[in-house]
Structure 1
Amino acid sequence: MASNVLEEIKQKIIKKLPDEVQLANIEFEGPEVVIYTKNPDIVADNGDLIRNLAKELRKRIIIRSDKSVLLPYDETIKKVEEIVPEDAEISNITFDEVTNEVVIEATKPGLVIGKYGVTSREIVRKTGWAPKILRTPPIRSDVIDRIRNTLMHNSKERKKILQTLGARIHQGGKYPNEWTRLTAMGGFKEVGRSCMLLQTPNSRVLLDCGVNVAGQDDKTKFPMLGVPEFSIQDLDAVVVSHAHLDHCGFIPYLYHYGYEGPVYCTTATRDLMTLLQMDYIDIAHRENNPLPFNVKHVQKMIKHTITLDYGVVTDISPDIKLTLHNAGHILGSAMCHFHIGDGAHNMLYTGDFKYERSRLLEPATTRFPRVESCVMESTYGGHEDVTPSRNNAEKELMKTIYKTLKRGGKVLVPVFAVGRAQELMIVLEEYMRHGMIDEVPIHLDGMIWEATAVHTARPEYLSKDLRDQIFHMGRNPFISESFNKVQNNAERKQIVEGEPSIILSTSGMMTGGNSVEYFKWLCEDKNNTIVFVGYQSEGSLGRKIQKGHKEIPLEDETGKTRVFNVKMDVKTIEGFSGHSNRRQLMEFAKRLHPRPDKIITCHGDPYKTVDLASSIHRSYKVETKTPLILEATRLQ
């Protein structure tokens, strides 16, 4: 079936191509139709040609130089260095043999592109390689380097993966699209282990596959993959909304379990997802609590991951097209829009989202071509979830820091490495720069530094204000001298025994990581303060401290359990969350365009899920549902 479809597409493309094009091959690579030509000039000037072909065929079209006309690596590097002005400050040149791209990192990428793209087109003409131009990040990211190395060393295998996937996607649906259903496998009437299965007569797509880091056993930690509807062999795709572990932490297990298909997400999500999964494995190993997957399964996931930009429509199965939109939650977070059965049904999965502009990100998208059903988060969906404005939250944090430093104490902020940490870094840097709080060291522990490196490497996902500050004003708050990257345990001890300071440390819910160690060292001194700025899951150590428990049994440095007496101040400051509060959730449902026929609430405590659903139904006369785990809901 796929070969027939490809032959039809080939014939249509051949008719449309100019006579001078020397066609080498046409093939499916994942969701894309790739045209290989022996004319690098055609690749350089392919804009209108691609647009017209894509519009007619309703497929993603890529034109590449055939391998026979590509210059060798060393000659290409020489040519690039001749063509690109020295002022561009090229820092690295690598090659992607799957996409036939030369990846050029430069401090001033605009000079590599050239006016109206003239320089980048010249690179194609002279070398055959299509340039992929990246800004040199001010902080080098180890995880991005690792991902690039994995893809480069497995380029032939990845090419086969994409070709096999392309044949499956483009084979066409076998059955009429008469129904669509959604099965809840995790994250419904609870927070953690988000996972759901979208089914049509022709497709099976998994939406997120996370873990509950505060879960007490396998039954509460991991998604319910044992539902009758779920079969790993029949799974067409996995779509990841964002990189937090409660949405992506169990994906490596799918590859351990035998999955051979793709994962779709944004580039930033792939980078951060890899970072958080590797750290999750590392912590589990250190705590002698092994997971049912390991590093090789993360590497397998990387080889199977296909990254998408916001707004790009992509075939992910015979009858489903996916488009990702900004969710405003963390870097690269996406609302996932599914166009099913040539428009028979359109479903939106919001993932976690923030319907408010933050210092870090733009607010979540509310406008879509069509939406018949919407699955939306309800973390703060209760009517009492009225949080202070961001401005008031910042003032409250600064007041708390000022008082603590004044009495000679230290401020510990357990924080999620991705999102909240960077938001706080921006706030602290600004207030310190303007002299509104004392200049003291801000210690960054755990994965915060590496996660921040990813933020500096993917600036296209940041808010417009922050991009302007970095690129046009020449001020990057992430590389302020106030920040200190904590390297080892000896340095941690110096910090807790030293002068007043601010400590940002993972994990955010104190379910492990160095925030727990800092807490043990600091909690029995009344001069110190612990500040919670993010969600604390039921059962987590953070929730216990937040609730006012004064005696906390934990292992000491000798490995023996002892009771730690909480004498430090305990402060919760709402308003920094990456989730929408109750008012923003209601406003999102109101502004969602077009208004869906059905809204399903998920990702919230049982009461909040129901409270939000009933309020949306009363206010906007939309049908709402609040499924339990294991329930299946017919959408169409």
Structure 2
Amino acid sequence: MRIHLLGGFGEKGRTSLAIESKGYRLMLDAGINTSVSMDDADYYPRVSPAALVATDALIITHAHEDHVTALGWAIAQGFAGRILMGAETARDADMAWAGYAAPADRERARAAAVETLPARGTVALGPFTVTTGRSGHIVGGSWCVIDDGARRFAYCGDVVPESPVFMMDPLPPCDAIAIDASYGDDDVPARERARQVAAFVARHPQGCVLPTPLAGRSLELLAILPEPIALAPDMRESLAAQLAAQEWLRPGIRDRLAERLAAAADWREGEPLPKAALLCYDGMGMSGPSATILPLAERQGHPVLFTGHLPKGSPGDRMVRAGRAAWNRLPTHPTLGENRAIVAASGARIVLGHSCDPATLRALAAHIPLLRADLATGTSLDI
């Protein structure tokens, strides 16, 4: 089994890799890199048209832009194989395509035939048996284990073992694993980060803005924020759809969050910023209602708190660097302790890490000796 690292290794964004065995080529995820412009070659996975033509199938693990947005681009470059993603991912992916894909690529992705990837189950692709499980990161989010009969490779995608909202299924043993290394050696537990985020909101009774991805972290924030809460356009519909997907949620959480959603107010463009915690997407200020709300908040000196990744040069990055917004990570990826537990349980002898820069990966490798911090996008290896 040969692994090709196409994006997201030694960098954040454009997460993608390919697996080859017995003449079959499977690609996992097709993301983009929001740290560069769309006309930069590094915006898309590092894969040639010839390799895309030779790709037999593509699995998309979830609907965030750094995992799904390059689908239409891959089709334009010659990919014509099978496309598999979860039903909820297929439903939600167009929001990422609308915000980050070229218009023609968005239409190609929307027109593509998609097969449903099971939330928990197996599917046969050529010589591979693909096992899936819930990732704990987002409704519709999956991890994948690829087995060719001789070797077993686990791809975590984005996972959250201890999410208070979403369920993560345990991964089976494997020979090699690609872990979600987004946070490096950060080991502050989610409950402490949640307390800090809630305290920020409580300190600003005049209201504040919390940019967030439309799906995933938005529901985590709904769970922890002090009321009152207000919702920018499209946020209520997304939260309701996530709550309807009960299979992906922790037992007992749905009814409590449904009550909080019912109590939240709707904010519309043109209205004054509310005296409430206003949830708006996206989480970086690059698209969606955030692109208009954040300049308004900045002009008025209205408090803003970012809680996730901010690409260099993004509106959120600029505001934080200028002291016009605050930042505090709300964990929607594994902490150090969680990644150590994932690796130990897997029994893997080869460990890769995606979704972080080289320094962050090296910091994590100091605690996980098997982690290959020397591997980066463009590298291939045999397992």
1:399 aligns with 2:220: no
Maintained 8 Å contact 1:236/1:262: yes
TM-score computed with the length of structure 1 as normaliser: 0.57
Look up the equivalent residue of 1:320 and give its one-letter code: F
Instruction: Flag the 1:298–1:258 CA change in 2: closer, same or farther, 3 A.
Output: same
The answer for the alignment partner of 2:29 in structure 1 is: 208
Shift of 1:614: 4.0
1:313 aligns with 2:122: yes
Shift of 1:446: 4.7
The answer for the alignment partner of 1:515 in structure 2 is: 290
Per-residue Cα deviation, 1:568-598 (whole angstroms, up to 9, x for no partner): xx32223x221112222223222x23x0121
1:543 aligns with 2:317: yes
1:298 aligns with 2:118: no
1:221 aligns with 2:31: no
1:249 aligns with 2:69: yes
Maintained 8 Å contact 1:613/1:626: no
The answer for the alignment partner of 1:240 in structure 2 is: 60
1:327 aligns with 2:135: yes
Q: What is the number of residues matched between the two proteins?
A: 382
Q: Output the CA distance in 1 between the equivalents of 2:292 and 2:75.
A: 33
Q: Output the CA distance in 1 between the equivalents of 2:284 and 2:248.
A: 26
1:631 aligns with 2:374: no
Look up the equivalent residue of 1:299 and give its one-letter code: R
Per-residue Cα deviation, 1:303-353 (whole angstroms, up to 9, x for no partner): 23333131x121012x1111111211111211110011xx21100011111
Maintained 8 Å contact 2:236/2:261: no
The answer for the alignment partner of 1:196 in structure 2 is: 17
Instruction: Flag the 1:184–1:492 CA change in 2: closer, same or farther, 3 A.
Output: same
Look up the equivalent residue of 2:264 and give its one-letter code: S
3-state SS of 1:492 partner: coil
- For 2:328, which of 573, 580, 595 is the aligned residue? 573
Look up the equivalent residue of 2:59 and give its one-letter code: V
The answer for the alignment partner of 1:269 in structure 2 is: 89
Look up the equivalent residue of 2:175 and give its one-letter code: E
1:378 aligns with 2:181: yes
Q: Output the CA distance in 2 between the equivalents of 1:187 and 1:447.
A: 29
1:365 aligns with 2:170: yes
Q: Which runs of 5+ in 2 are unaligned?
A: none
Maintained 8 Å contact 1:532/1:571: yes
3-state SS of 2:178 partner: strand
Q: Output the CA distance in 1 between the equivalents of 2:191 and 2:200.
A: 14
Look up the equivalent residue of 2:177 and give its one-letter code: C
Shift of 1:624: 3.2
Q: Output the CA distance in 2 between the equivalents of 1:210 and 1:305.
A: 19
Maintained 8 Å contact 2:69/2:97: yes
Per-residue Cα deviation, 1:481-522 (whole angstroms, up to 9, x for no partner): 3231x4xxxx322133xx522211111011233223222222
Maintained 8 Å contact 2:152/2:176: yes
1:349 aligns with 2:155: yes
Q: Output the CA distance in 2 between the equivalents of 1:446 and 1:476.
A: 18
Maintained 8 Å contact 1:209/1:223: yes
TM-score computed with the length of structure 2 as normaliser: 0.91
Maintained 8 Å contact 1:601/1:609: yes
Matches within 5 A, 1:65-464: 180-216=1-37, 217-226=39-48, 230-281=50-101, 290-291=102-103, 293-295=105-107, 297-301=108-112, 303-310=113-120, 312-317=121-126, 319-340=127-148, 343-358=149-164, 360-366=165-171, 368=172, 370-381=173-184, 383=185, 385-387=186-188, 389-405=189-205, 409-428=206-225, 431-432=226-227, 440=228, 442-464=229-251
RMSD: 2.3
Per-residue Cα deviation, 1:175-208 (whole angstroms, up to 9, x for no partner): xxxxx11111111101100111111132101111
Higher relative contact order (Cα pairs below 8 Å, separated by 6+ residues): 2
Q: Output the CA distance in 2 between the equivalents of 1:628 and 1:391.
A: 32
Look up the equivalent residue of 1:494 and give its one-letter code: E
Q: Output the CA distance in 1 between the equivalents of 2:309 and 2:371.
A: 29
Shift of 1:426: 2.5
The answer for the alignment partner of 1:493 in structure 2 is: 270
Instruction: Flag the 1:453–1:279 CA change in 2: closer, same or farther, 3 A.
Output: farther
Look up the equivalent residue of 1:516 and give its one-letter code: A
Q: Output the CA distance in 2 between the equivalents of 1:190 and 1:623.
A: 15
Per-residue Cα deviation, 1:519-549 (whole angstroms, up to 9, x for no partner): 22222444x31111112122322122223x1
The answer for the alignment partner of 1:606 in structure 2 is: 358
